[in-house]
């Protein structure tokens, strides 16, 4: 029975072929490289798959990532490299926790009422189920990754080594605990790093408030209770006489004695040129306080973690204070403005002052800066070598322009708050004495407090920012051991063979979150770059360039597409027309086009095979001039495509082979050969037919190889049905 008697059915073929690949174990470099010969056999090529978040299903962005990486991997494997693509899944700390919290909400439950261990277990089960589902989805997309090496970011060894890193950083002085203003989301009840907040332009009233003898302008009058000073620019002649003096300010619930200080930060042209200083609730004011620690009073916290007023403790004797207690920030703002107005203390109000406010990136709740003790990583010493490595070209960015964005961020980097007040993550190995508050950093619980000797020690309940562990993913996933000397490592160690990895392929949107941190951590811990190339893909958008989102209803499910049109068609439609760093407009029309192309490959193969009667592959026929021209052309095409593959121009390579196969091989060569295959216009008939057969068969075979990285399933299926290819597999053929 000839497989070409039926139309090509991706659904049947793809699952069958994937199973064959897995059974062959050729995804594993140890098996595959034994079968491939070539001068590059000893060289390795490795990609660590960015582990998808184990909190949902794969979306088109994942499909794009899989397609790109599989193309590189298959190409290099066929080129004879020892090729490893290591798959994994990410526990995705905060992200997963909020996905799970939404689920809890639907069930009428609340995370704050669930004991820590139980919540952890529940989320664990949740991620395990997602993980399994995602792995099968990755298979459907044709990923030739080595499943025997798959890793999860909460595997025991990963947790352990992440904690080691924290201890090591601490010992080297790169970690400190500090009471700082932290970006706090009152809804999620956790602090964030600078990257997890977004800024949004907003119009708010700007209040001019009589402030003792001065007038100040503010958008947050409710923080007035926490004011500890007034600042002016040292050069501002209007306020010269006040500098260094104390003024008395009526803040409704009390009279505050505040010192006037001079600081260059203050812009004389803004507002009145005098600024109220609230170190507990404003990042700038906090910094001003730090510069004037000896002159003025420190932070007075008047807003609590629920973003509600909390001031009676500071003003116990004030009756008025009780009125404000427990009010939400915005309610308190309204009330204080009313009260100030009653006292004639509001000078004027600019109704629509345009400014930027900080929001939680996830729920868009207004960030309430809050004074908290957290663990911070000193970034500057880590950033320096990471900037150098890119500057010197040890790590290349594709596209190159992202270097600039990277440098800009790295040069202005600030210390990184890695404490998160959630349960889903790797718990920080820090222990606090309950008697004297001393902190100790050890992998395991110390016997007793080093300061007071108490045995009453508790572990920090906070967990790491998930990027603290993902930042170390490339070397941790490859089994890096800090404790052993490198030369003592088993020679078969994956770390030794595959690190530094060849390419990190991921979305540009996580350049700072992830890529930059991997470079910093990699250089610091392993003394090597974690990868040689960074390939950054863009966002997959809908056909109108709109972001896909559930609420817009324009989400395309990659698995739905695979079921209807096949993974090969999906992959082509994600690759062609998609340049690195740019977003992609995606539509079903496009997929249909490549489904048609798959059919074209099928039909062309069918035609060539149908006409192979009495063909002797071992006997090289006499080629005509035009035959030679075609063969030469094809050789040139191969070289061109190889060059494009090496320079990461997959969109060009794919288009090139697509165009050649359809419009040169099918439309021209096959059409021309038809007459010769039928023995027409041929003298003597046999040789012309032989040459035509040879030519068609040769170009078909070689085209399948060129197409394989892009469309692995259909090419493999056809390959195995070519005469003489029984039990042979295209996946390990020499390119």
Partner RNA sequence: GCGCGAUUAGCUCAGUGGUAGAGCGUUUCAUUGACAUUGAAAAGGUCGCAGGUUCAAUCCCUGCAUCGCGCACCA
Cβ-in-10-Å burial (0-12, 13-18, 19+) of 308 comes to middle
Which residue in 606, 733, 593 sits closest to 654, CA to CA? Answer: 593
**Residue 364 DSSP SS3:** coil
C-alpha dist (Å) from residue 544 to 360, 538, 576, 578? 28, 15, 17, 15
Residue 617 C-beta-side C-alpha neighbours within 13 Å = 12
**Residue 2 DSSP SS3:** coil
Q: Which residue lies nearer to RNA by CB, 125 or 380?
A: 380
Minimum distance from residue 643 beta carbon to RNA (Å): 13
Minimum distance from residue 281 beta carbon to RNA (Å): 10
Minimum distance from residue 596 beta carbon to RNA (Å): 3
Q: Which residue lies nearer to RNA by CB, 193 or 526?
A: 193
Q: Which residue lies nearer to RNA by CB, 593 or 679?
A: 593
C-alpha dist (Å) from residue 71 to 50, 180, 548? 15, 46, 25
Minimum distance from residue 453 beta carbon to RNA (Å): 42
Say which DSSP state 49 is in. Answer: P
Q: Which residue lies nearer to RNA by CB, 88 or 712?
A: 712
Minimum distance from residue 583 beta carbon to RNA (Å): 6
**Residue 308 DSSP SS3:** strand
Minimum distance from residue 660 beta carbon to RNA (Å): 11
Q: Which residue lies nearer to RNA by CB, 73 or 359?
A: 359
Minimum distance from residue 722 beta carbon to RNA (Å): 16
Write down the residue that tokens 């494009």 correspond to.
644
**Residue 546 DSSP SS3:** coil
Minimum distance from residue 61 beta carbon to RNA (Å): 15
Q: Which residue lies nearer to RNA by CB, 213 or 453?
A: 213
Q: Which residue lies nearer to RNA by CB, 414 or 448?
A: 414
Residue 271, Ramachandran bin (φ over 0: left; ψ between -120 and 50: alpha; else beta)? left
Minimum distance from residue 589 beta carbon to RNA (Å): 5
Q: Which residue lies nearer to RNA by CB, 155 or 287?
A: 287
Say which DSSP state 446 is in. Answer: -
Minimum distance from residue 40 beta carbon to RNA (Å): 27
Q: In terms of DSSP H, where are the helices of 147-247? A: 156-171
> CA 524 to CA 471: how far, in whole Å?
11
Q: Which residue lies nearer to RNA by CB, 45 or 416?
A: 416
Dihedral sign for Cα 433, 439, 445, 449, please. negative
Q: Which residue lies nearer to RNA by CB, 365 or 664?
A: 664
Retrieve residue 326's tokens.
């427990």
> CA 135 to CA 87: how far, in whole Å?
9
Would you give the end-to-end CA distance of the chain in angstroms? Answer: 30
> CA 276 to CA 294: how far, in whole Å?
18
Q: Which residue lies nearer to RNA by CB, 635 or 667?
A: 667
The alpha-carbon radius of gyration of the chain (Å, integer) is 33
Which residue in 365, 356, 336, 369 sits closest to 207, CA to CA? Answer: 336
Q: Which residue lies nearer to RNA by CB, 24 or 365?
A: 365
Minimum distance from residue 355 beta carbon to RNA (Å): 4
Q: Which residue lies nearer to RNA by CB, 46 or 693?
A: 693
Residues that bind RNA (CB under 7 A): 7, 194-195, 198-199, 217-220, 265-271, 273, 275-276, 282-284, 287, 355-356, 401, 404-405, 408-409, 412, 414, 512, 543-545, 577, 579, 582-585, 589-590, 593, 595-596, 598-600, 603-604, 606-607, 610, 651-652, 655, 659, 662-663, 666-668, 670-671, 674
Retrieve residue 233's tokens.
């620019």
Helices then strands (H, E): number in the chain? Answer: 23, 25
Beta bridge partners of 506: 536
Minimum distance from residue 563 beta carbon to RNA (Å): 14
Write down the residue that tokens 């803004």 correspond to.
270
> CA 472 to CA 297: how far, in whole Å?
41
Minimum distance from residue 733 beta carbon to RNA (Å): 23
Q: Are 449 and 438 in contact (CB under 8 A)?
A: yes
**Residue 636 DSSP SS3:** helix
Q: Which residue lies nearer to RNA by CB, 106 or 408?
A: 408
Minimum distance from residue 130 beta carbon to RNA (Å): 26
> Cα–Cα–Cα angle for 37, 43, 46, nearest 5°?
110
> CA 359 to CA 197: how far, in whole Å?
5
């Amino acid at each position: 029975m000839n497989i070409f008697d039926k139309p090509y059915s991706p659904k049947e073929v793809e699952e069958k072929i994937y199973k064959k690949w897995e059974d062959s174990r050729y995804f594993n470099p140890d098996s595959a490289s034994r079968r491939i010969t070539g001068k590059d056999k000893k060289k390795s090529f490795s990609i660590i798959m960015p582990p998808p978040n184990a909190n949902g299903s794969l979306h088109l962005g994942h499909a794009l990532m899989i397609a790109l990486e599989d193309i590189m991997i298959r190409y290099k494997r066929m080129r004879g490299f020892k090729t490893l693509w290591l798959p994994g899944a990410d526990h995705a700390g905060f992200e997963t926790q909020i996905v799970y919290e939404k689920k809890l909400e639907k069930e009428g439950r609340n995370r704050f009422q669930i004991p820590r261990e139980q919540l952890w277990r529940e989320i664990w089960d949740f991620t395990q189920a997602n993980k399994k589902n995602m792995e099968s989805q990755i298979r459907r997309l044709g990923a030739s990754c080595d499943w025997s090496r798959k890793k999860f970011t909460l595997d025991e060894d990963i947790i352990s080594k992440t904690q080691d890193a924290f201890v090591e950083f601490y010992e080297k002085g790169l970690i400190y605990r500090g009471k700082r203003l932290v970006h706090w989301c009152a809804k999620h009840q956790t602090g964030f790093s600078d990257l997890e907040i977004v800024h949004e332009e907003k119009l708010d009233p700007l209040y001019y408030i009589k402030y003792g003898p001065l007038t100040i302008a503010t958008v947050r009058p409710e923080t007035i209770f926490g004011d500890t000073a007034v600042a002016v620019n040292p050069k501002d002649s209007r306020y010269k006489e006040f500098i260094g003096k104390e003024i008395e300010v009526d803040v409704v619930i009390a009279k505050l004695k505040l010192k006037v200080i001079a600081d260059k930060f203050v812009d004389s042209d803004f507002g009145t040129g005098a600024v109220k200083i609230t170190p507990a609730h404003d990042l700038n004011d906090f910094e001003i306080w730090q510069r004037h620690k000896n002159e003025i009073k420190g932070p007075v916290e008047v807003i609590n973690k629920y973003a509600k007023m909390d001031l009676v403790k500071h003003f116990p004797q004030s009756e008025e204070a009780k009125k404000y207690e427990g009010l939400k920030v915005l309610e308190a703002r309204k009330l204080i403005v009313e009260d100030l107005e009653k006292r004639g203390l509001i000078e004027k109000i600019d109704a629509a002052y345009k400014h930027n406010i900080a929001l939680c990136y996830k729920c868009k709740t207004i960030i309430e800066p809050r004074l908290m003790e957290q663990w911070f990583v000193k970034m500057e010493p880590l950033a320096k070598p990471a900037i150098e490595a890119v500057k010197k070209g040890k790590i290349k960015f594709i596209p190159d322009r992202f270097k600039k964005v990277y440098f800009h961020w790295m040069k202005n980097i600030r210390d990184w708050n890695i404490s998160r007040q959630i349960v889903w993550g790797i718990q920080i190995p820090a222990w606090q004495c309950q008697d004297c508050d001393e902190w100790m950093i050890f992998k395991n619980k110390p016997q007793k407090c080093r300061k007071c000797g108490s045995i009453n020690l508790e572990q920090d309940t906070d967990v790491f920012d998930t990027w603290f562990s993902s930042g170390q993913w490339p070397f941790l996933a490859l089994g890096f051991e800090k404790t052993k000397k490198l030369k003592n490592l088993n020679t078969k160690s994956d770390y030794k063979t595959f690190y530094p990895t060849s390419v990190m392929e991921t979305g540009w949107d996580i350049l700072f979150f992830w890529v930059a941190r991997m470079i910093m951590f990699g250089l610091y811990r392993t003394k090597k770059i974690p990868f040689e190339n960074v390939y950054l893909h863009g966002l997959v958008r809908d056909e109108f360039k709109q972001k896909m989102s559930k609420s817009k209803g324009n989400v395309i499910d990659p698995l739905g597409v695979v079921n209807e049109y096949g993974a090969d068609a999906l992959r082509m439609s994600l690759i062609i027309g998609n340049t690195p760093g740019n977003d992609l407009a995606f539509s079903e029309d496009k997929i249909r086009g490549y489904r048609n192309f798959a059919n074209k490959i099928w039909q062309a193969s069918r035609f060539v095979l149908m006409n192979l009667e009495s063909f002797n592959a071992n006997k090289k026929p006499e080629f005509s001039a035009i035959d030679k021209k075609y063969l030469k052309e094809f050789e040139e095409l191969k070289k061109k495509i190889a060059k494009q593959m090496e320079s990461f121009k997959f969109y060009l390579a794919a288009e090139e082979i697509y165009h050649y196969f359809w419009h040169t091989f099918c439309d021209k060569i096959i059409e021309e050969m038809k007459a010769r295959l039928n023995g027409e216009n041929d003298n003597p008939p046999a040789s012309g037919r032989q040459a035509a057969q040879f030519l068609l068969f040769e170009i078909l075979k070689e085209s399948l190889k060129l197409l394989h990285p892009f469309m692995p399933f259909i090419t493999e299926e056809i390959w195995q049905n070519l005469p003489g290819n029984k039990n042979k597999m295209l996946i390990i053929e020499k390119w």
